[in-house]
Structure 1
Amino acid sequence: MNDSVAAVIHLHSKSFSLASRLLPAGARHEVVALYAWCRRADDAVDLSDDPPASLARLESELDAVYSGQPGDDPILRAFARLVERRTLPRHYPRELLAGMAMDLQPDLYPDDATLALYCYRVAGVVGLMMCHVMGLADDDALPRAAQLGMAMQLTNICRDVGEDWARGRLYLPYQSLGFGDEVQVRAALTRPIEADLRARLPQQVRAALAQADAYYRAGMAGIPALDWRCGLAVRSAARIYRGIGAALARQDYQPLAGRAYLSGRGKAWQVLVALLGQLSGGAARQAVTRPPGRLVEFGAQLCRPAG
């Protein structure tokens, strides 16, 4: 693994970096390559002076990756090797870029169903790509992997309301926040968050975290389809992200009261609980894993988690 590729995960996500260390070495290197490409794409759009042009370049790079000509960029080369080794469907990274395109306008979400599509595109497909890296014993677990990614994205959305607002973005369903249409939302986004909206935020954050919890329950039910070490890493990551939601609950679901986070000790505790869950959950034997044999597209199944 090229050092510049591995450095991306350590720089951008301490939680993800911690969970990745629990993976077996082969899977860990490939997970880092996948994360590095996702992070590179996200930064290329978010930090660009011309986001549409950057997104178009990313789409061209993806074409080059899937044609076996990734060029000299170490992250693209590592991702291309991953695409070939793990037969990664092109649909998933294309959907990720489509999710980034939704941020350029930026899109607004009137209800839970429209927000779910965004969460599928920017996070659900990452869970699905991870299944190709780790392998699965049962393709029926694939939708659960997408739901676990969607749960984590909803948690991030709830935590980052203030930061997103400052960037002119709102991801929480605006109808539930009392806005009548997009015109009202876009006008409000040009001003600091007003007192009446601040007072309404906790109720909507509580509802979004309840939806995230339903996704977490559905997603974690698919963990036995992974081998034991991969299952431990995924279970740990899920518990760490879910802990951010618990931290929000402790501040009465008010995201503007301070950035909710888990301390290092809190993360270590969640890893320990995840380990106990693996040991007690009948997942102690090595699962027989293989590349997934089907594609999971967005649909009603992903909007309505089944525990």
Structure 2
Amino acid sequence: MPATRSALVRSAHRSIRKGSKSFAAASRLFDRTTRERVWLLYAWCRACDDIADEQDHGRAAAPVRLGTRLAPQDRLATIRTLTELAMAGESTGTPAFDALAQLRREVPITDALVEDVLAGFALDADDWRPRSEADMLRYCYHVAGAVGVMMALVMGVSPEDQDTLDRACDLGIAFQLANIVRDVWEDDANGRCYLPVEWLAEADIPPGEVTKPHYRGALVPMVAQACALAREYEDSARVGAARLQFRQRWAVLCAAGIYGEIAREVERLGAHAWDHRVSISGWQKLGHVWAALAEARSPRVPDPETSRPVLSRRELAALAQAHPPRLHD
């Protein structure tokens, strides 16, 4: 029997509590309907990430027998098959993918948006690396910006409100840039690097040696450049947040503050940013909750013309269409 909505919501709630304390905390600020839809969306995104990286809610999964690990393209095929079943409204037998099917019955999430997210997993499966800053931002669009657009739709933003959807995408990109600078060491251990090859070449850091101790000094200004980009996208997102209803605005501003703090802490620590994984304490998160409440009550609306990144949703989507990843069957 297909799972009921309440069962899917409970499963999704467990997933977000296990996988992201920051998002779980911010989601409490939404009204009940929006909060549950946020959990459903998170559950699908989390499951796709875990299948792609063979993890359990972002952490190392239980060991598997030698020779039984799936190849990256096989993992991508699993994600695509389950997602396509969900997009067709069919039961997958997997709560996280059934959550997507349920969400699409309630929210106008298009096939194109789902495909844009899947394209990010395809890039990773192909062992892709960003050559330019635009490439890095295009990757951020796939894995986080498109999810930001979905989140805006979940919060009731009209599909016709293109500018606010752009701002929601910008917030996702800001989040992903924070992830990139925080996880340089972790990504390198997994054979990945999301800093542009052109940046590394300018800093005289050879490919595959980004975490060598004698290159830390050269890495610091590069990471500061990415953090500056993250602030630019976060500022743009705040323009869109000011247009949301109060509780939604509060939640979005809270999440923006918490993730922005991660990037700021990485930048502040300089060469010591990767001595341990940067995290935000419970007290710091609580501080951002109250700061976001104050801002949500009296939203400051920046000038929309001076708070727009050069590359936002529509430009990045056009780049993605011009350079599509290989979506293997």
Q: Same fold (TM over 0.5)?
A: yes
Find runs of 4+ consecutive structure 1 residues off by over 3 angstroms: 179-182, 300-303
Aligned residue in 1 for 2:315? 299
CA deviation vs aligned residue, 1:46-66 (integer Å, no higher than 9, x gap): 106322112112212222122
User: Is contact 1:160–1:255 with CA below 8 Å preserved after alignment?
Assistant: no
1:85 pairs, out of 98, 101, 106, with: 106
User: Is contact 1:177–1:197 with CA below 8 Å preserved after alignment?
Assistant: no
User: Is contact 1:154–1:212 with CA below 8 Å preserved after alignment?
Assistant: yes
2:259 pairs, out of 232, 241, 248, with: 241
Alignment of 1:200-219 (within 5 A): 200-219=218-237
Aligned residue in 2 for 1:279? 297
Give the partner amino acid of 1:82: L
RMSD: 2.4
User: Is contact 2:216–2:271 with CA below 8 Å preserved after alignment?
Assistant: no
Q: TM-score, with normalisation over the residues of structure 1?
A: 0.86
CA distance in 1, matches of 2:202, 2:191: 16
User: Which 5+ residue runs of structure 1 have no aligned equivalent?
Assistant: 284-295
CA distance in 2, matches of 1:253, 1:276: 34
Give the partner amino acid of 1:45: A
Tell me: CA distance 1:181–1:120, structure 2 relative to 1, closer, same or farther (3 Å).
farther
Tell me: CA distance 1:111–1:254, structure 2 relative to 1, closer, same or farther (3 Å).
farther
Question: When the two structures are aligned, how many residues end up with a matched partner?
Answer: 286
1:13 pairs, out of 13, 20, 27, with: 20
The answer to whether the aligner puts 1:144 opposite 2:134 as a matched pair is no
Segment drifting more, 236-245 vs 273-282: 273-282
User: Is contact 2:223–2:267 with CA below 8 Å preserved after alignment?
Assistant: no
Alignment of 1:86-125 (within 5 A): 86-125=107-146
Aligned residue in 1 for 2:155? 134
Tell me: CA distance 1:52–1:90, structure 2 relative to 1, closer, same or farther (3 Å).
same
Q: Provide the secondary structure at the position in 1 that maps to 2:188.
A: helix
The answer to whether the aligner puts 1:164 opposite 2:171 as a matched pair is no
User: Which 5+ residue runs of structure 2 have no aligned equivalent?
Assistant: 1-5, 55-68, 302-311, 320-329
User: Is contact 1:161–1:255 with CA below 8 Å preserved after alignment?
Assistant: no
- % identity of equivalent residues: 35
Give the partner amino acid of 2:225: A
Aligned residue in 1 for 2:32? 25
Alignment of 1:242-257 (within 5 A): 242-252=260-270, 254-257=272-275
User: Is contact 1:148–1:219 with CA below 8 Å preserved after alignment?
Assistant: yes
Segment drifting more, 51-60 vs 201-210: 51-60
The answer to whether the aligner puts 1:64 opposite 2:123 as a matched pair is no
1:154 pairs, out of 166, 177, 196, with: 177
CA deviation vs aligned residue, 1:125-160 (integer Å, no higher than 9, x gap): 111001111112644211010011000000010000
Aligned residue in 2 for 1:289? none
User: Is contact 1:120–1:298 with CA below 8 Å preserved after alignment?
Assistant: no
Deviation at 1:282, TM superposition (A): 6.9
CA distance in 1, matches of 2:177, 2:221: 15
Give the partner amino acid of 1:72: G
Aligned residue in 1 for 2:53? 46
Segment drifting more, 256-265 vs 192-201: 192-201
Tell me: CA distance 1:300–1:193, structure 2 relative to 1, closer, same or farther (3 Å).
closer
CA deviation vs aligned residue, 1:53-103 (integer Å, no higher than 9, x gap): 121122122221222213322222222111122121111121111101111
CA distance in 2, matches of 1:238, 1:5: 22
